[in-house]
Amino acid sequence: MNSIDRYMARLIAVPLISTLLISAMLLVLDRMLRLFEFVATEGGPVSVVWRMLANLLPEYLGLGIPIGLMLGCLLAFRRLATSSELDVLRAVGISYTRLLKVPFMYALALAALNLAIVGFVQPWSRYNYEQLRFELRSGALGASIKVGEFTSFGAKMTMRIEESKDEGRKLSGIFVQMMTKDGTPVAVTAQSGQFLRSDDPDVIIFRLQNGTLVHQDKGSPVPRVLTFTTHNLPIPLPKYEQFRTRGGKNIERTLPELAVIGRNPQSSEEDRETSRAAFHFRLAEVVSMFLLPFLAVALGVPPKRSTSALGVFLSIVMIVTYHKINEFGQSFGASGAVDPILALWGPFSLFCALVMWMYYQIAYVPGGQPIGGLEKMFSKLTKFVLRYLPGRRRKLRRDEAAA
């Protein structure tokens, strides 16, 4: 790499890394609030929120990496253009294609990383995320007892705690209602208590102090009432069903697994079509990253004497729109209405043709500007809006009065 390539690498690295970090942080913060609410509602430990966010991060990177590559290359070429450095490079015989050497190095490395994420890491992380959600809903992560509310542990026990101190070590105002093994109800109230471990991992001891126990025996019409100073109440922990095995959904299958199912004649037609659609969707998303350097040049170089940032806005719109079209194509191909290859690679071919036409206009047509018309419309719209803003209109009136 010569000095120009190293300079391009530095120009691309800063916005690329910044975009990845900012997009990941925004997506994580948006989901974090909902996860905190979900975990608090289910009564699970707060630490599980960070585990769930970590398993969602590969899904966010699947879209964040292409956007980061796009903005990194685009802002680098925009800086070269607005500072007239691009004119100097072009004057000494360096073409746009030569300047794309470093962007394509980034594209190759990030495409390989994205392929590993969407093809292998994301299926496992998605499965782990769903497993954590299941364990929270079932209580297998250790549901906490909410103070002042009735908390159910399975179908045979309900508990209510009035007050908790010392991080749950000292409990007071206790009410417990449970069913014994022979199906008789037991109700217990106590002034205070604490949980203790037992030798049996499936049973915990709830040591109660200064309370009353009411046992309704089947053989006696009158319940038995026991007043105690200290009473150890064994509480069997509920049994939770096991979570399903991985691979129940296409989003949890790796690329090789999708390819095997898509070619397996023993699989149902629905499984084959959905697997093929998911397989081609992931490949199309990765391959489209090699078009982004061309698109970055076409949108990053504004017209002469223009500093409009319209190209930055259009780049994000085009990437997100293409991603949504691919998602629609995946659903359309999975339904069996059209072959998944046509549903996914057809939009890719159109997107590729559009990008290459835009690059040809900027690189090989003298004075060519693929978004020149949009730039003029955007400039006129901006002037129109600014002209009729309240502050702007007052300034115009003052200028007219002074004249």
pLDDT one-digit tens code per residue, 141-160: 555 566 777 777 666 778 88
Question: Is the same domain home to 131 and 156?
Answer: no
Which position has the token pair 């490395």? 109
Q: What is the pLDDT of residue 359?
A: 94
What would the pLDDT profile of 391-401 be if each residue is shown by its tens digit? 555 555 565 55
Q: Is the pLDDT of residue 58 over 60?
A: yes
How large is the average pLDDT for residues 102-111? 96
Residues in CB range of 68: below 8 A, 6 or more apart: 15, 16, 17, 19, 20, 23, 110
pLDDT of residue 388: 65
Share of the chain above pLDDT 90, in %: 42
Q: Looking at residue 398, what is its pLDDT?
A: 62
Q: How far apart (Å, rounded) are the C-alpha atoms in residues 56 and 63?
A: 12
Taking a C-beta distance cutoff of 8 angstroms, is the pair 35, 52 a contact?
A: yes
Query: If 0-12 CB within 10 Å is exposed, 13-18 middle and 19+ buried, where does residue 243 land?
Result: middle
Strand order in the sheet with 224-236: 150-152, 157-165, 170-179, 185-197, 203-215, 224-236
Contact 304, 298 (CB under 8 A): no
330 class by beta-carbon count within 10 Å (0-12 exposed, 13-18 middle, 19+ buried): buried
Q: Are residues 213 and 253 in the same domain?
A: no
Q: Considering only CA atoms, give the Rg of the chain.
A: 32
Whether residues 288 and 342 fall in one domain: yes
Whether residue 285 has pLDDT greater than 90: yes
Give, rounded to a whole angstrom, the gap between the first and last alpha carbons of the chain: 59
**How confident is the model over 31-37, as a mean pLDDT?**
86
- The letter for the amino acid at 165 is K
Number of structural domains found in the chain: 2
Rounded Cα distance, 48 and 40, in Å: 11
Q: Among 236, 270, 290, give the residue marking a domain's end.
A: 236
- Average pLDDT over all residues of the chain: 85
Residue 343 confidence (pLDDT) above 60 = yes
Domain assignment present for residue 157? The answer is: yes
Contact 123, 253 (CB under 8 A): yes
155 in Cβ contact with 138 (< 8 Å): no
Highest mean pLDDT among 10-14, 224-228, 301-305, 336-340: 10-14
- 251 and 219 in a single domain? The answer is no
121 and 163 inside one domain: no
More confident residue, 216 or 77: 77
Are 339 and 259 in a shared domain? yes
- pLDDT band per the 50, 70, 90 thresholds, residue 66: very high
On whether residue 402 sits in a domain, the answer given is no
Q: Give the range of the structural domain holding residue 371, as residue numbers without chain letter.
A: 3-137+246-390
Query: Which amino acid belongs to residue 363?
Result: A
- Residue 71, pLDDT score: 93
3-state SS record for 317-363: HHHHHHHHHHHHHHHHHHCCCCCHHHHHHHHHHHHHHHHHHHHHHHH
pLDDT attached to residue 167: 65
Q: Is the pTM of this model over 0.85?
A: no
The answer to whether the CB of 78 falls within 8 A of the CB of 302 is yes
Residue 230: how many other CB atoms lie within 10 Å? 11
- Banded model confidence at residue 239, pLDDT cuts 50, 70, 90: low
Is 142 inside any structural domain? no
- For residue 43, what pLDDT band results from cuts at 50, 70 and 90? low
Are residues 196 and 131 part of one domain? no
Same domain, 227 and 295: no
